[in-house]
Structure formats: structure tokens, C-alpha cells
Structure 1
Amino acid sequence: MNEKRKFDVLVIGGGPAGLTASIYTSRADLTTAVFDKGDNTLDKAEVIENYFGFVDPISGSEILGRGRKQTKKFGTEIFDLEALSISIDDGYTVETVDGEFKGDGLVLATGVQQKKPDVENLGSFEGKGVSYCVVCDGPLFRDKKCAVLGSKDYGVKEALKLNEYTDYVSLLTDGKEVDADQRLIDRLDENGIEVITDPVTTVFGDQLLEGAIVGDEEMELDGLFIAIGTSGTLDFALKLGIDIEDGFIQTKDDLSTGLPNMYAAGDCTGGERQVSLAVGEGTEAALNLIEDLKGESNQDWG
């Protein structure tokens, strides 16, 4: 196991928020380490067409690859390691399977892990008809046959949002009753969105999604949006006493967490899961952290 290594800034997460933060801190001559365990959901996005400056669609993996290359250019060290724990003692210590890393400041950009239903072949069609974000991919399914898999408020909201792009929307509850605000349920009726409560057992297709087995029937589908919530990977945040609500880190307006020199940015803070928003939060978190570490506002460790 390696001996403890020292950096000015430690960034947990190698998605758009974490990589953007590391670009700013490295350019500010703060030694920066990024820990990226390699399960970024953006990697599975085959087409992104709403990111500023890209006339032609670009894949999520290409955006991440460019970001990694860019931040390395400024001296960031990227470690393909999972942060197993974080401790505080006149700074932050991140433990990994390859040793411990010490830092004066920390940016949490862990993203979120989507909860996945037990549906056969689901992973084979991620990015090929199966999506986890209507805002991201809804426009790609205009006037196509689609369904949202979910039974709570989040699922109903996604179905209503998807209905803005296509009239062919069903809500699949996978054997559950709809458990949502009555006002949302009423809007399903108003918009003619069918609710199907039969279990969803498998999805199928050739290169792209073609349908799902719902109950005993084959249901023809061009798109299936998973909306059953998220499972957080924020156990260490809870252990540090950071406020968590509905699986998301709660921050102040400046994205600080309430702990000295620690900020959070991107999907792990909630809100719409958009690359542009993650990049913006990564920028803001980094600029505030730079001011903490280099300016007059250096925080007291107590």
C-alpha cells in the first residue's frame, strides 16, 4: 500500500462537475487529485445534442474523455480509484485501496447511482432506447412509442414531461400501485397517459430497443425511461455529518457543505441532471474553494 500523498485539493468524482472543478483548481496552481471509480452514467449517453458549442451531437464518453485530457493538461492527477472513506484531521484524508491521500480542500462530485429495476436485458439497451433522463433524451423520441417505468411522484412527473414530446406515453408501475400526489395522478388522466400495473419482466430488440414484456403481453416500445429514484453513494457524507435529503447532499447557496473547505457540485446535490448544470456547479464550487484556500476567507478547522 502506498504512503499517504499530499495535495491541496481532493475531488471525489470524475464526471463533468468534478473534472470542471479540477480544471479550475489546477489552473489556480493548487495541486489537485481526482478520484474516479469509473461508473459515470454519462458514459452510457450515446447522443448529447443540447450542450453549448457543439452543433453536432457528441457522446457522453467523448465529453468525459475531453474533460480528463483537459484537466491533466493543467497538472491534475486522476486516480481510477474509489474513495472508501473520508476523515477530518486538520484537512481531509481520503482512503482508497491504493493508500491514503491528504488534502486541504475537498469537492464532492460523486454523482448519483440510478436504482435499476430487475428487468432482464435492461443494461444491454441503455443508451439504445433505455434512458434515465427525460430532459436529456426526451427530444430524441418525438412522436415515438414510449413508456416510463416508475410508480411514485418522480415517475409520474417524468411521464408528464415525456408527454410534451410524444402522445404515445404509458406509465409502467411494474406490479405496484401508483403512489403519487393525487394532483399528478389527475394529470395522467387529463393527458391520456395509460397506467399499466403489470410486472415488467424483460426488454428486447435487435440493435435498438423494440419492446418489453409487460405481464403476459409484448409491448412495442421505441423508448423506455427508468424513473424509480436514485440510490446514493454518500455513506461517507453521512458519517461526516453533512446534511442529506432524499439521497442528495444539501448545500448552502455557495455550494459549501458546512464543513471547512468542502464543497459539493453536480448531480449529487439534486436538481436536473444536465451536463451544463454540473459544469456550472463545478466551476462555482472550485472558485469558492480557491478563495478559501488562497484568500482571506480561509476557514477555521476548530
Structure 2
Amino acid sequence: MPNIVIIGSGPAGVSAALYAARAGVETTVLTKGPGALDRAELIQNYYGFAEPISGAELERRGIEGAKALGVQFVTTEAVGLTYMDKLTVETLAGDFPADAVILATGASRAAPHIPGLAGLEGHGVSYCATCDAFFYRGRDVAVLGSGEYALHEVQALLPVVKSVTLLTNGSPLTASFPPEVTVCPEKVNAILGEERVSGVELSGGKTVALSGVFVVLGVAGSTALARKLGAEVDGNRILVDEHMQTTLPGLYAAGDCTGGLLQVAKAVYEGALAGTEAAKALRKG
């Protein structure tokens, strides 16, 4: 039986797995564990849920649904992608040969090691302004970043929140920010707050009162794997065709790593398409 290996267990990866398994293809999902969706405090713009649902619960339900169809989940870290006789995903748990591979690790939300940041994820620390800006309307928030990605999130926040402070954490600015954004170039010593974010402490002891901190650093996690085989990328975005196939036969990508709207609905659609098209191609082959 042909097999598909999917890297990533977020909405795109699990959606791809659901459709591949239903098409009768042996399907394995490689996961490092909970991803960005797990850290989303509440989601209330997703089809089918009248009441807000936590990202962790939505992720759990998706994975359970895939397991019910026979999808195998392996907890490990993918470290390489090669092609000898067939595509092979190299992981810390060994090699996983595949007839097709779907990259769905999302866009990497790199988080610096700042005291208080990890403990307040989902309680004032967010990784998606488009997802969570609504919950901070009329409040003072900060964006932790200094480039184009940070600018995109700032622009999503400005019409909703009271004020936006840019925390560069000592990094140089690589984008032009609106004049109403206060830029703090100092290193961030700590994210403050007990049960929820209350502010940040900067180097020198200065504190800034805040209700939320949006972490917007990082690059697409799947891009490095795509580059290993020479698949075409555009910056941090993996280029795909209308079938979600990269420029290499048998290698697909779906979700945040393909760029565009960083939303669950888009990831689920692209995953469904990638799983369907990969399975269809294997049946033809």
C-alpha cells in the first residue's frame, strides 16, 4: 500500500491526514507535540462553533478524529529530508520512507528565552494578532519583533487596541513602523504578571504596563526542509501549485508555511487539498 508521511500535527497536517486516510492511503503524522494552535486562548471565528473554543481543545478534537480513521502519530523531530530510492524524512526517531511527503509544520513562532513568556502563553502572550486582537480591544499591548512580520501584526492591532508598543529586544529595525507606535529598543528582561500579563520589564529597570504581548518572530518551519531537496521557496514561503505540490514531485506543503492568511480555516482547506491530491497522485502512479 502506498504511504504518505505528514510533518506537523496542526490544522493543516491533521486535515491532510484525514483526507489521505479516507482515500485508503497509509498515513503517518510526525509531530513535535502541541503547536501554535494549542497556545491560542480562545477561537470564536471558526465555522461550526457558536461558543468560543480553546485552541488546545480544537487541536485535541482534530487529532482524535484522525486517529479514529487509523492515522498513526509519531512524536519526534524531523531533522532532514532526502531522496534516494524514494522520499525519506529523517527524524530523531529514525528514517521514515514515503511515497509522498506533506510539509505542514506551520510558520515558526520563535520565542526568545524571556522570563515569564512561556508561563503566560494564552494568558496575555499571543502568537497571532489576527486571531487575538479582538480580545484586546481598547487595551495597551506590545509586539515583540522588529521586521516585516512584526509590522504586519502591528497593522492588524492598531485599529482595535488602545496603543501598540514595539519591543525590539535589542534587534535593529528592518521595517518602517507607523509614527503612533512607541518603539522600545531595549532588551526585555521579563514579561510581568501572575495569572495574566500586566507589563514588561526592560533593561535598566524600566517597566511598561501592558495587557498583552504579541510574539511575532520567526520563519516558516517547513522552509528549511523544502530547501534541503531544492524545492522553490520565496523568502520563508514554500511555493506550491494548485494541487499544493511544491516544485518537486511527491512533495507537498500546506498551511502557514505557504504564506497568506495565517488562520485555521485556510490551513484546514490547504491540508484537505494536499491530502486529497497526494493520494490521487499515488493511485494514478
The answer on whether the counterparts of 2:231 and 2:247 sit within 8 Å (CA) in structure 1 is yes
Equivalent residue number for residue 182 of structure 2: 194
Q: Mind listing any 5+ residue stretches in structure 1 that lack a counterpart?
A: 1-5
Cα separation, 1, equivalents of 2:95 and 2:48? 39
Q: How does 1:207-218 map to 2 (within 5 A)?
A: 207-215=195-203, 216-218=205-207
Give the secondary-structure state (helix, strand or coil) at the position aligned to 1:140: helix
Shift of 1:234: 4.2
Of residues 279, 285, 288, the one that matches 2:268 is 279
Q: Output the amino acid matched with 1:285.
A: A
1:100 corresponds, among 70, 95, 100, to: 95
Relative to 1, partners in 2 of residues 1:116 and 1:211: Cα closer, same or farther, differing over 3 Å? same
TM norm structure 2: 0.91
Unmatched 5+ stretches in structure 2: none
1:265 aligns with 2:254: yes
Equivalent-residue separation in structure 2 for 1:154 and 1:234 (angstroms): 16
1:164 has 2:159 as partner: yes
Identical-pair percentage:
37
1:204 aligned to which of 192, 195, 200: 192
* Runs of 4+ deviating beyond 4 Å: none
Deviation of 1:14 (Å): 0.9
**Residue 208 of structure 2, aligned match among 210, 213, 219:** 219
Which amino acid letter does the alignment assign opposite residue 280 of structure 2? E
Aligned position for 2:79: 84
AA of the residue aligned to 2:44:
E
Work out the CA distance in 2 between the residues paired with 1:198 and 1:118. 15
- Structure 1 window deviating more from structure 2 (86-95 vs 209-218): it is 86-95
Matched residues, number: 284
The TM-score normalised by the length of structure 1 is: 0.87
2:241 to 252, 255, 269: 252
- TM-superposition CA deviations, 1:78-97 (whole Å, max 9, x none): 11122233322343222334
Counterpart CA distance in 2 for 1:145 and 1:267 is: 27
Matches within 5 A, 1:1-302: 8-181=3-176, 185=177, 188-189=178-179, 192-215=180-203, 216-230=205-219, 232=221, 234-295=223-284, 298=285
Please give the per-residue CA displacement for 1:260-296, whole angstroms capped at 9, x wherever unaligned: 222100112222321111101001111211221123x
